Amino acid sequence: MTRLFNDPHDFVAEMLRGFAAASARWVRAAPGGVVRSTRAAEPTVSLVIGGGSGHFPAFSGLVGPGLAHGAAMGNVFASPSTQQILSVARACQQGRGILFSYGNYAGDVLNFDQAQAILRREGIDARTVVVTDDIFSAAATEAENRRGIAGDLTVFKIAGAAAEAGADLDEVERLARLANDRTRSIGVAFSGCTLPGAAEPLFEVPPGRMAIGLGIHGEPGIDEIDMPTAGELAEILVARLLHEVPDGAGRQSARVVPILNGLGTIKYEELYLLYGHIDTLLSRAGLEVVSPEVGEFCTSFDMAGLSLTLLWLDDELEPLWSAPCDTAAFRRGSISGHSAVELSAADEDSARTTAEAIPSATPESRALAARIAEAVCLIADTLDDAADELGRIDQIAGDGDHGIGMQRGSEAAARTARSLIADGAGAGTVLMRAAAAWSDAGGGTSGVIWGRIISGLATACEDSSVPRLHDVAETVAQVSTAVREFGGAEVGDKTLVDALVPFADAFTSSLPGTEATDSGSLRRTLAAATREGARAAGTAAEATADIVAKKGRSRSHGAKSLGTPDPGAVSLALIARTLADFLTETSPPHSSHPQPQHPNDGARTAVLTSQEKTLS
């Protein structure tokens, strides 16, 4: 378990401050993660890596000359937000393009892809190589669906060495893909890991048993067997990896790099004992072992477990794997020609968050914004109460962080909304900035998806006017379509979409074809439509218990998710029910969050026209 922390919500921020202070030779802090504190004599392609925290030395410990230029760091086991990735990438940009590389997890893919698209619109050439080394997480015929675990190191090292040598972006990307194609890993666990502040581990392994095929985010293993001896475990790991030799690698006299990686609490003595057996087995198989690595390279917080990775070398990859690098956690040879980065006052100013101006808004839009802020505060209360249960559902076939992510995201949105109301913001501004706050603080898949949902709803609202019933109906339908396209999920995949689509369909079909003529009928109409949507979402969320996951982290665990509803669908249904209750009330229900107050609150009743009550 994690013993040293203050507020668990601040764990990552405090850890990164300490890491940057202790590792100033290699890195400096940047909003969203760390970047190199040195630069090469000539500009190079910038390698930006990242993922959730809890994996040290991945990802921050692999930033430095010869390896990565920056690492974007999310909350523990949650992907960094799009804004965090953009912040780190912009701080690393040298004019020769950016290569993103990270493990293949849904939240990371959504957030990095969104950051890549934004950079490309800004004229920056950004590419991505996703690491897919975990052989247990999908069949060889579906290798693109595999997770990335400790094989991250081989891809990062090859790409970083190629960039250091002056290769252009096309070449760095090609070599990173080659390294990924020639890397295979398998992981096992003897016990689960516990998040900071949590009372119980994310999963447990029965006494005398070993889990096989685990991820690095606290996901349970895909299979279990009786606990083997060290020699028997070595045979299992090597046999599984040699069963799938990369195309073109061959078996006889092939040169391989074995990486035996501790996941958090396995002692180095145990790892070396195990490696002795692994080395013998590889040699007996006719393989030539090259510069083996034993230690911690990609952990899973305090998990008792380990993984074995094999990188199958060729004439291109071997010199890049052996090339010098110098980072806080991985060093090889001697590297020169780098100088310390001297930050100018302008650089430091640009790294600080600057407050955006609040656009002017009509009294009607400000009044609507106040009601929206009240609803956001109530949603945050609901998710705060449900966080433990959502986490429990998620850890059955996922990583257990859904409740925490939803809690963090909604609380950030509520704080932002309250602050904006105090500054006189209109409805469009409140929704758009609350969406950004939710996405940034929530991180992961849920953060970026809810950012999309709320920012989509913001398109129906302006600071100069209030939406009509038709605008709301059209926007809800558009949001449903946009989320499906963005996440690549459909009904039946066991995701949030399974509840979102029924909500949108029921909501829009319940609305009349004509606009209501008075505020009372508008309120009743919207409340009734939202209740119908919430009922449909709730029924659909419960029904996901009978679905085998086809998307997200639960996908790798097949039937293990049967009998348990999808946490994303459940949380959407909870939010829909909260909104229905809120709209049905003639006066705002109680929220434990301080209620937002507009500076001219006394005039609020007078400006609540029938149009403003479209959403209240």
Per residue, the 3-state secondary structure of 108-128, as one string, reads: HHHHHHHHHHHHHHCCCCEEE
pLDDT in tens, 496-535: 999 999 999 999 999 886 665 555 677 788 899 999 999 9
Region of 82 (left: φ > 0; alpha: ψ -120 to 50; beta: rest) is alpha
Task: Name residue 128's beta-bridge partners.
Answer: 100
Residues 6+ apart with CB under 8 A from 372: 417, 427, 430, 431, 461, 615
Highest mean pLDDT among 504-508, 582-586, 601-605, 608-612: 504-508
Rg (the chain; Cα; Å): 25
Domain residue spans of the chain: 8-324, 363-592
pLDDT in tens, 464-505: 888 888 888 999 999 999 999 998 899 999 999 999 999 999
pLDDT value of residue 609? 31
Catalytic positions, written as ranges: 217
Residue 180 structure tokens: 């990924």
pLDDT in tens, 392-428: 888 776 667 789 899 999 999 999 999 999 999 999 9
What DSSP letter does each residue of 387-453 carry, written as one string? HHHHHHHHHHHS-S-HHHHHHHHHHHHHHHHHHHHHTT--HHHHHHHHHHHHHHHH-HHHHHHHHHH
Distance CA 89, CA 118 (A): 11
Segment 124-131 mean pLDDT: 98
* In the block, residue with structure tokens 């668990």: 8
Residues 6+ apart with CB under 8 A from 183: 131, 133, 151, 154, 155, 246, 309, 310, 311, 312
Q: Which residue has the higher pLDDT, 349 or 59?
A: 59
User: Mean pLDDT score of the chain, rounded to an integer?
Assistant: 88
CATH second-level architecture of 363-592? Answer: Alpha Horseshoe (1.25)
Q: Which amino acid is at 567?
A: P
pTM here is 0.86
Residue 612 structure tokens: 């403003």
Query: Shortest CA distance to 219 belongs to which of 62, 12, 402, 56?
Result: 402
Is the pLDDT at 124 greater than 80? The verdict is yes
CATH fold match for the domains 8-324 and 363-592: no
CB atoms within 10 A of CB 278: 25
pLDDT value of residue 607? 26
Segment 529-544 mean pLDDT: 96
Give, in degrees to the nearest 5, the angle at Cα 307 between 305 and 309.
Answer: 170
What DSSP letter does each residue of 290-303 carry, written as one string? -S-EEE-SS--TTB
Is the pLDDT at 155 greater than 90? The verdict is yes
Question: What CATH class has 8-324?
Answer: alpha beta
* In the block, residue with structure tokens 């996703």: 130
pLDDT in tens, 211-243: 998 778 777 778 899 999 999 999 999 999 999
- Cβ-in-10-Å burial (0-12, 13-18, 19+) of 42 comes to exposed
pLDDT in tens, 59-91: 999 999 999 999 999 988 889 999 999 999 999
Assign 354 a pLDDT band (cuts: 50, 70, 90).
low
Distance CA 133, CA 153 (A): 11
